[in-house]
Structure 1
Amino acid sequence: MTKVTIYNDQYRIFEMFSISHFIVLLLFLFGTFVLFFYRHNLNQLKWRPIEIGIALSLLFFELTFHVWLLASSYWNASDSIPIELCSISLFLTIILLLTGKKIVYEWLLFTALLGATQALITPVLVYDFPHIRFFYFFYTHIMMIWVALYFTWVKGYRPTLRSVGKVFVFLNVVLPIVMVVNKLVDGNYMFLSHKPRTPSLLDYLGPHPWYILSLEGLLLLLSLVVWFFFREKGNKGNDHKIHDKS
């Protein structure tokens, strides 16, 4: 495997669909199946200390990652500010674990399943196992998805059609803010300035800036798909049994 030398240390460069990538994807699928098939058993357990522990671990990973960037002189305003979609999802995950707010769940369910899932399949990543960047990337992205699914399957949260509207409004409020930041720091947060250099879904959505409009339409379509599969079934008119946390 190709290697890159940094500060006299040897690090393997991450390659998509390499052995390390496949192992992570298999672990992710295994954990997802366990979460689904044992959801009723897991519902009987006391999860509050674990929820807080996962939230703190995500915050620790985020802080550690930025400390590493600073210590390695890699931190740069053009690409290190945590305003990527997955970074936003990470903070939503932490807030949801700590507060249990329904609206945070609604935002996270869609951003995690649509954003973090795509990131797991086509990672924008340089360093392979066992670099800290490798652990940070996969741990945080997997936890975003698992936490959203945990609140759905184990805790009984469910999206509604209004949830689709809420996440669409939320992202379109964030979008112009990120665009302004991109202009100020010459960045490419959320890939709003240009497509990533590695293969991704954006390659099929047209040239810049038209792929942004394509993403808007795709976001709406896929959000409806997520709502359809995760909506409350057989209980029409009932938003959610814990609506008091909205």
Structure 2
Amino acid sequence: MDWFSKSYEAFEFHMFSASHITVWVILAATVLLTFLYRSRFTEVTSRRVEVSLAFILILLEASYHGWMLRTGTWSVSHALPLELCSLSVFLTVALLLTRKKVLYDILLFIGVLGASQALITPYLYFDFPHFRFFHFFGTHSIIFWTPLYFTWIRGYRPTLSSVIRTMLFLNLLVPPVLLINKLTNGNYLYLAHKPETASLLDLLGPYPWYIVSLEGVAFLLSLGIWLLFKEKEPSIFTNREYRRP
């Protein structure tokens, strides 16, 4: 059985299958343990975690492009890093390595919202133990977990301007991505049509109205995340002369 093949018949993924739910359980347990044991993270431990996860993300993403090239499935119509989660991979790596607050401000919203949607309704054809299964759920789980880690461990908190900054970031992406979609016959950011598999976009109306609906939903959910995390608590590094970048 070739775990790196491009044929998914032997690995066909089914939403809400045992493997899918197992990923949810593992991620939920990781998030819970991170919160419960947040005071146990030392500066040395946290830095090791950050660098290790950045390396894992880079390795996973590089391996994914290598897999597409090996199987002859790489194409400008879908392989450019222009999907929201692909962009989040780069933002996550940058945040883990630099700890820049401006990166957190954007990733908290697009990472938590985008990755959670992908984890709930995956656009995926390959089930466990295929490489794509590990790539898809590995990258999205790290994207989802990282801003929570920076909130609870590093003491970062969003502001209302973080919400505005995120919406501006998303809207500035739309014009160039629309042009690239037209030139490549792609569907980056799902601006051309909804994904072929079931997704939460199915609840937002037909094309192109779901794009407008999605923007409104994204803004409201971002406000919800801001309200949830805006209250400041002392960082565990406050008394260790830790300074936020």
1:56 to 1:22, Cα distance in 2 relative to 1, 3 A: same
**What letter is aligned with 1:199?**
A
The DSSP-based 3-state class of the residue aligned with 1:83 is coil
TM-score by length of 2: 0.91
Post-superposition Cα deviations, 1:65-115, rounded to whole Å, max 9, x if no partner, equal: 000000100101111111100001111000000100000001110011110
Q: Which runs of 4+ in 1 moved over 3 A?
A: 6-10, 241-244
Preserved CA contact (<8 Å) 2:64 2:135:
yes
TM-score by length of 1: 0.90
**Within-5 A mapping of 1:160-199:** 160-199=159-198
**Within-5 A mapping of 1:1-246:** 11-43=10-42, 46-233=45-232, 245=245
1:244 to 1:77, Cα distance in 2 relative to 1, 3 A: same
The DSSP-based 3-state class of the residue aligned with 1:57 is helix
Q: Distance in 1 between matches of 2:233 and 2:26?
A: 32
Preserved CA contact (<8 Å) 1:43 1:155:
no
Q: Distance in 1 between matches of 2:7 and 2:211?
A: 41
1:43 to 1:166, Cα distance in 2 relative to 1, 3 A: farther
Post-superposition Cα deviations, 1:161-184, rounded to whole Å, max 9, x if no partner, equal: 010011011111112121111111
1:158 to 1:25, Cα distance in 2 relative to 1, 3 A: same
1:38 to 1:205, Cα distance in 2 relative to 1, 3 A: same
| Deviation of the 1:11 alpha carbon | 2.8
Aligned length: 235
Preserved CA contact (<8 Å) 2:155 2:232:
no
| Deviation of the 1:28 alpha carbon | 0.6
- Return 5+ residue gaps in structure 2 as ranges: 235-240
Post-superposition Cα deviations, 1:2-41, rounded to whole Å, max 9, x if no partner, equal: xxxx578963100000010011110011101101111122
Identify the residue that residue 237 of structure 2 maps to in structure 1.
none
| Deviation of the 1:244 alpha carbon | 5.8
Preserved CA contact (<8 Å) 1:11 1:131:
no
Q: Alignment identity in percent? A: 48
- Give me the CA root mean square deviation: 2.0
- Return 5+ residue gaps in structure 1 as ranges: 1-5, 236-240
